[in-house]
Amino acid sequence: MAVFLSTYVNKVDRKGRVSVPASFRAVLAEQSAGVADGVIVFRSLQHPALEACSERHMEALAEALEKADLDDETRDLWETNVFAGSVLLPIDAEGRVILPQDLAEFAGITENAAFVGRNKVFQIWQPETFRARAEQARTQGRNAGLSLSSLTAAARRTPQP
């Protein structure tokens, strides 16, 4: 299993701890030489939600940023958004993380948190906010005529290097 899949809603305890779903931890571990000791979390640019990925994924991002041909201002924006805005949350022995207050507030998370698999990354939402968003996404997807066959067709049109 190499991608983050499904949605899980877990409780935030009074200390601010939340369990990262076991299957997500497995994916993180796979990308980090066996043990999932930490996860990178940052604010989504599009939604009132948090994005999360493995350290390795972040390293790849950092590398891409160094190599990318960007003007100074754009690079500065990236570095501010990516590095300054991210946190590395350690995962404890029970598989939990503590969401920093400012990030939890940004996503409106208090009692519960929804972990949403999104392929290479996952998101953390306030469950009710996510439910609304998911419903909207379904409608939009149907209207746009999304289907699995259209996706695989699109993939065939743009072969990978």
The site for DNA (CB under 7 A) is made up of 8, 10-11, 13-19, 21-22, 25, 90, 92-96, 98, 100
- Amino acid of residue 107: A
**Residue 63 touching a second copy (CB under 8 A):** yes
CA distances from 57 to 17, 53, 121 (A): 23, 6, 9
Q: What single DSSP character describes residue 14?
A: T
Element (H, E) at 113: strand 112-118
Residue 34 contacts which entry, DNA, a second copy, none (Cβ below 5-8 A, type-dependent): none
- Hey, what's the torsion of the CAs at 123, 129, 130, 132, to 10 degrees? -160
Nearer to a second copy, 14 or 136 (CB): 136
Q: How far apart are the first and last CA of the chain?
A: 23
Which of 17, 25, 56, 133 binds a second copy (CB under 8 A)? It is: 133
Q: Which of residues 12-31 bind a second copy (CB under 8 A)?
A: 23
Q: Which of 60, 62, 64, 54 is nearest to 121 (CA)?
A: 54
Which residues form the interface with a second copy (CB under 8 A)? 1, 3-7, 23, 40, 43, 45-46, 55, 59-70, 72, 74, 76-81, 83-88, 116-119, 121, 133-134, 137-138, 140-142, 144, 146-148, 151-152, 154-158, 160-161
